[in-house]
A and B are shown apart, each in its own frame.
Chain A
Amino acid sequence: MTELVVENVEKWLGGLKILSGACFTAEKGRIVALLGASGSGKTTLLRCIAGLEQPEIGRIVIGGKTVLDGEAGIALPPEAREIGLVFQSYALWPHRTVFENVAYGLRLRKRPAAEIKTRVETILDKLGLAHLAARYPDQLSGGQQQRVAICRALVYEPKVLLLDEPLSNLDAKLREEARFWIRKLILELGICAIMVTHDQGEALAIADHVLLLKGGSIVQDGTPIQIYGQPTSFYAADFMGTNNVLSGAYEAQADGGVVIRCEGWSLPGIWRDAEPPRDASDIRAVVRVETIMVSSEPTATSQPLDVEGCIYLGDKWEYRLRRGSVRLRAQGASELSSLVAHCTVQPASTWLFNP
């Protein structure tokens, strides 16, 4: 069931266009991630859905109710939108206890006291916070505050749950745990969730659907596997993962294959861009670091490269390789002892794009 429809939302700040025609829908029981670098408009889009910003143009429907329609002049205030929002800073009210923070939404909805008590206790218990109900926010750890913020946003069963960089204030260990349990919780409750993040790992791990934003518009959307494995533009390919980026000229082969010709080296690849090459003399290749195979002995398809250095990363080694003006990064399990390494770059992993 479609819980959220965002159609053609445009938002201006003075003469600056922050959102240019964002469109997407989100389903019940699914998690959508708005992924992008800072300034890509992802937080603005989230705030538009929440009603904290008002776009000039566009339509937003939440749970079948039109909350924004630029043409019809409808713009419901945030409190009438039946949403929950988990703020990046959590925004827990410092003058209220955990219980009171969570209960506020139910109080505003005039639920009977007994019902409020059981519902708040149930959700606190579900997130392992039952023993903290009487504490004030400043007596909680960061992870506990985050869970209280999530309880507060969920307790009145909003149609859509919005999460603004929910993991950014947690330390690395907690973050990995949170990725898992937040996804599990949302799927269990079967609600529609929209999450804003700049961290691709977070987006891939938590979301069912990822929207990649750039400069206020959606560059690509798809499942995490599509976004990471089948980018349709140079920006999308380069944004995700750790990459080697090569510049060169486009060359079509007699056998139908395509090649990028760099200085003194040409690599067969596949054309991934949604559009045909605009300028054959200037294209880009993106090769994910983990797809390059390195060995000390030459193989049938390998190319020899000079080893410039090896960097120890703990769980693996990173190699800095060079041939002519082309520099490559690759990974492996052990330090390279020779001065020359033999690399295999798979054509299927060499994605070619317009710059």
Chain B
Amino acid sequence: MSLANDAPRFRAGVILALFAMVAAPALLVIYQSVLDAPFFDDNVRFSLDAFRFVLTDPEFYRALWTTTLYAFGMVVVAVPLGGLLAFLITRTDLKGRKWLEPLVLVPMFLSSIVLAFGYTVSVGPSGFVTIAFKSLFGAAPWSIYTLPGIILIGGLSHVPTVYLYVASAMRRLPSDLEEAARTAGAGIWRVSLDVTLPMVLPALVFSAALNLLLGFETFGIPLVLGDPNGILVLTTYIYKVNTIFGAPTYQVMAAVTVFLILITLPLVFIQRRLLRHARRFAAVGGKGARTNLLRLGSTGQAVALGLIGLWLLVSVFFPVGGIVLRAFVENWGEGVRLTEQLTLANFKAVFEIPSLSRGILNTILLAGVGGAIAVAFYLLVGLAGHRNRGRSGTLLDYSVLIPRALPGLIVGLTFFWLFLFVPFLIPLRATLISLLIAYIIVGLSYGLRIIQSTLLQVAPELEESARITGASIYRSWRDVVIPLVKPGLAGAWAMIMIVFLREYATGVYLMSSGTEVIGSLMVSLLTSGAMDQIAALSFISIALTAVGLTLALRLGAKLHD
């Protein structure tokens, strides 16, 4: 036992409250899945009908198979590309790598619904690029509404996640390991293969596992790109179940979610183990400045820059450029001069429809004010877990894992149920508070990780000396820990803000009239096909994210650990 075990009541209280918040949705889903009607129905009975229905529905098996293909396909696309980009940017003398890095990360900061929409308007059947290509070459030999197209786009949009983990592992590699191999007589490429690659292998494996999980939970990209051809993944299957039955069939949605959890929960645990292993591997040491970078030579430079340029063109320029253009035109097509079509009509329409303009305001409120509240909450949880080696620490560990196994769509759905029927929560349903609580749970693992790593930077003696001087543990947090982590909290706030800005799945069920948010509005506008408004909203979403990113960088937030 050490000092860590004081303030036990505070720690236990916060951690139990958090556990209740994360366990409630998971348990409610499982409970709902074994009922024959919505759980709030008066005549509800236990029944396995929902599972029976799902297991006999060929559409479910097709969705399961598609999801599996999508998840693995995404890994196959994203991991090698992300690894290669990380290698080129951190380990070689590639020209302009300083400003390439933030560009490479752009897809990560945009919501996948915005990205997917961006692909539709640029390389979709009647997208700008497709039309331009057709007018030049007569035909455009691709279709993004097919499974391979969706997988490719999903994979490309997840390259930044791989890049982040692998690049940070490569940066942490002590250069003396490589220098030892060089002095032993290995050439520079040989060293990369024999020393660098094995040393970052844990990071590659971890990012593969992470992308697999993200692949199974994916929603936005298959929703936008798969829908036109009826390609369903598990999350879109859940979303579409209502349309199939023509009425809310909560038990079927819950049953599919249970299957999804059966896949994602093991993945979360595997990841946790991998991460521990990866840390052990990479924690060898850190002589920061790497002195010798691999020389690419002029041909190498050209090939590398060409490759990165192509990836940037497809992953950043096409979707973002497409949205920017689409937001300012209403008509386009072959033979139409876009310069004559520029208009602000789309934005005018958005600002004239009350629900849409409210959505913009709500999104800003949720991201800004809500983000600050979320950081305060994560800080409370972070302190409860800070240097806590007691049993409540283990519970905290597991509490953080649960929401990672639940897609945002499901978290939103279950909180919608909770706010519908838990008496003291009902008055909150039609307020932004309900959305904020769900957002806090969805962002928990990311937000808490930022806060925890910030808290760990405070040397333990600084807290101990406050205790010795006569401060209680709370006083030492208030007077020493919190003042010291303040700059880190500002950065965390900006990062959480970006996460909340791009969130779209959580609000799909939870938002109601008065609590609309941009991302979820786009999901519901998709069904009505209001492309003009989606384009304007996407543009606004990108602009807000850009503002958030600028703020994050000014506040000194680290984009990577």
- Flag whether B132 is at the interface (Cβ < 8 A): no
Within 8 A of A (CB), among B151-181: none
Residue of B nearest to A77 (CB): B6
Q: Identify which of A56, A78, A91, A104 contacts B479 (C-beta below 8 A).
A: A104
Contacts of A52 in B (CB 8 A): 2-3, 464, 467-468
Question: Is A176's beta carbon under 8 Å from chain B?
Answer: no
Interface residues of B in 414-467 (CB under 8 A from A): 459, 461-462, 464-467
| Docked complex Cα distance between A112 and B483 (Å) | 24
- Does A355 sit at the interface, judged by CB under 8 A? no
Q: Tell whether, in the assembled complex, residue A108 and residue B470 are in contact, meaning their CB atoms are under 8 Å apart.
A: yes
| Least Cβ–Cβ distance between A90 and chain B, in angstroms | 8
Residues of A within 8 A of B470 (CB): 79, 105, 108-109, 156
Nearest CB in chain A to that of B7: its residue:
A77
* Nearest-CB residue, chain A, relative to B469: A105
The complex places the Cα of A152 from the Cα of B471 at a distance, in Å, of 13
Pick from B1, B472, B480: contact of A93, CB below 8 A: B480
Query: Which residue of chain A lies nearest to B480 when distances are taken between CB atoms in the complex?
Result: A93
- B interface footprint on A107-134 (CB within 8 Å = 1, 0 otherwise): 0110000000000000000000000000
Asked if A53 is an interface residue, CB under 8 A from chain B, the answer is yes
User: How many A residues are at the interface, by size bracket?
Assistant: 20 to 34
A87 in contact (CB, < 8 A): yes
CA of A342 to CA of B5 in the docked complex: distance in angstroms? 64
CB distance from B463 to the nearest CB of A (A): 9
Contacts of A54 in B (CB 8 A): 1-3, 5
CB distance from B383 to the nearest CB of A (A): 17
**Which of A87, A109, A152 interacts with B464 by CB under 8 Å?**
A87
Chain A: which residue is nearest B473 at the CB level?
A77
Is B469 in contact with A91, judged by CB distance below 8 angstroms?
no
Chain A nearest CB, measured from B326 CB (Å): 49
Cα A94 to Cα B483 with chains together (Å): 10
Q: In the complex, A79→B465 CA distance in Å?
A: 9
A77 to B1 alpha-carbon distance, docked (Å)? 13
Interface centre among B466, B470, B473 (most CB of A within 10 A): B470
Residues of chain A contacted by B277 (CB below 8 angstroms): none
Residue in A closest to B464 when the chains form the complex, CB atoms: A52
User: A89 an interface residue at 8 Å Cβ cutoff?
Assistant: yes
Contacts of B3 in A (CB 8 A): 51-54, 77-78
Total chain B interface residues with beta-carbon distance under 8 A:
23
Judged by a CB distance under 8 angstroms, whether B484 is at the interface is yes
Closest A residue to B484 using CB positions: A95
Question: Out of A83, A93, A94, A95, which one reaches B468, CB within 8 Å?
Answer: A83
Given known contacts A54-B1, A95-B483, A104-B479, is B469 in contact with A87 (CB within 8 Å)? no
Is residue B279 contacting chain A, with contact meaning CB distance below 8 A?
A: no
Q: How far is the CA of A83 from the CA of B473 in the complex (A)?
A: 16
Interface residues of B in 19-77 (CB under 8 A from A): none
What's the A-B contact tally at a CB cutoff of 8 Å? 77
Nearest chain A CB to B191 CB, angstrom units: 36
Most chain B beta-carbon neighbours within 10 Å: one of A81, A87, A109, A152? A87
Which of B2, B472, B483 is the one whose CB lies under 8 Å from A53?
B2
Q: What is the CA–CA distance of A255 and B467 in the complex, to the nearest angstrom? A: 62
- The answer to whether the Cβ of A50 comes within 8 Å of any Cβ in the partner chain is yes
Separation of A175 and B55 alpha carbons in the complex (Å): 77
* B475 interfacial by beta-carbon distance below 8 Å: yes
A34 and B483 alpha carbons, distance in the complex (Å): 35
Contact A77 B464 (CB under 8 A): no
Report the bound CA distance from A85 to B480 in whole Å. 17
Q: Which residues of A contact B483 (CB under 8 A)?
A: 95
Contact assessment for A87 and B465 in the assembled complex, using a CB-CB cutoff below 8 Å: yes
A46 to B461 alpha-carbon distance, docked (Å)? 14
Asked if A41 lies at the interface with its beta carbon under 8 angstroms from chain B, I say no
Q: Could you tell me the distance in whole angstroms from the C-beta of B444 to the nearest C-beta in chain A?
A: 29
Is A84 part of the contact surface with B, judged by Cβ < 8 Å? yes
Question: Are A77's CB and B467's CB within 8 A?
Answer: yes
Contact A89 B461, CB 8 Å, known A52-B2, A108-B475: yes
Q: Are B469 and A108 in contact (CB under 8 A)?
A: yes
B469, B471, B475: residue with the most chain A Cβ atoms closer than 10 Å: B469
User: Which residues from chain B contact A104 at a C-beta distance below 8 Å?
Assistant: 466, 469, 471, 479
- Minimum C-beta distance from B459 to chain A (A): 7
A78 near B464: Cβ-Cβ < 8 Å: yes
* Residues in chain B near residue A91, CB distance under 8 A: 459, 461-462, 464-465
Chain B residue nearest to A100 (CB atoms) is B479
Bound form: Cα–Cα A53–B472 in Å:
16
Q: Give CA–CA (A87, B465) in the complex, Å.
A: 8
Residue of A nearest to B483 (CB): A95
Separation of A50 and B3 alpha carbons in the complex (Å): 10
Enumerate chain A residues within 8 angstroms of B464, measured Cβ to Cβ.
50, 52, 78, 85, 87, 91
Q: Report the Cα distance A114→B473, complex, angstroms.
A: 27
CB-CB under 8 A from B5, the residues of chain A are 54
Chain B 473-509 near chain A by CB (<8 Å), digits 1 or 0: 1010001100110000000000000000000000000
Q: Is the CB of B471 within 8 A of A85?
A: no
Interface centre among B465, B467, B479 (most CB of A within 10 A): B465
> A78 touching B468 by the CB < 8 A rule?
yes
Report the bound CA distance from A81 to B464 in whole Å. 13
| A192 shortest CB reach to chain B, Å | 15
Q: Which chain B positions have C-beta within 8 A of A83?
A: 468
List B contacts of A84 (CB < 8 A): 468-469
**What CA separation (Å) do A295 and B335 show in the bound complex?**
110
Q: Are B467 and A78 in contact (CB under 8 A)?
A: yes
With most chain B CB atoms within 10 A of its CB, the pick from A53, A94, A152, A156 is: A94
- Asked whether A79 and B471 contact (CB < 8 A) given A54-B1, A94-B484, A95-B483, the answer is yes
- Give the complex CA separation of A275 and B467 in angstroms: 44
List residues of chain A with CB within 8 A of the CB of B1: 54, 56
Tell me, in angstroms, the Cα distance from A340 to B6 when the chains sit together: 68
Which A residues lie within 8 Å of B461 (CB)?
Answer: 87-89, 91
- Contact A79 to B467, CB < 8 A, known contacts A54-B1, A89-B459, A94-B484: yes
Cα(A78)–Cα(B484), bound, Å: 21
**Can you list the 8 inter-chain pairs with the closest CB atoms, starting with the nearest?**
A91-B461, A91-B465, A78-B467, A108-B470, A105-B469, A85-B468, A54-B1, A87-B461
Additional A-B contacts beyond A83-B468, A87-B464, A95-B483 (6; CB < 8 A): A51-B3, A87-B465, A88-B461, A89-B459, A91-B464, A95-B484
Q: Which residues from chain B sit less than 8 Å from chain A, CB to CB?
A: 1-3, 5-6, 459, 461-462, 464-473, 475, 479-480, 483-484
In the complex, 29 of the A-B residue pairs with CB atoms within 8 angstroms, ordered by the A residue number, are: A50-B464, A50-B468, A51-B467, A52-B2, A53-B2, A54-B1, A54-B2, A54-B3, A56-B1, A77-B3, A78-B3, A78-B468, A79-B468, A85-B468, A87-B464, A88-B461, A89-B461, A91-B459, A93-B462, A93-B465, A93-B466, A93-B480, A94-B462, A95-B484, A104-B471, A104-B479, A109-B470, A152-B465, A153-B469
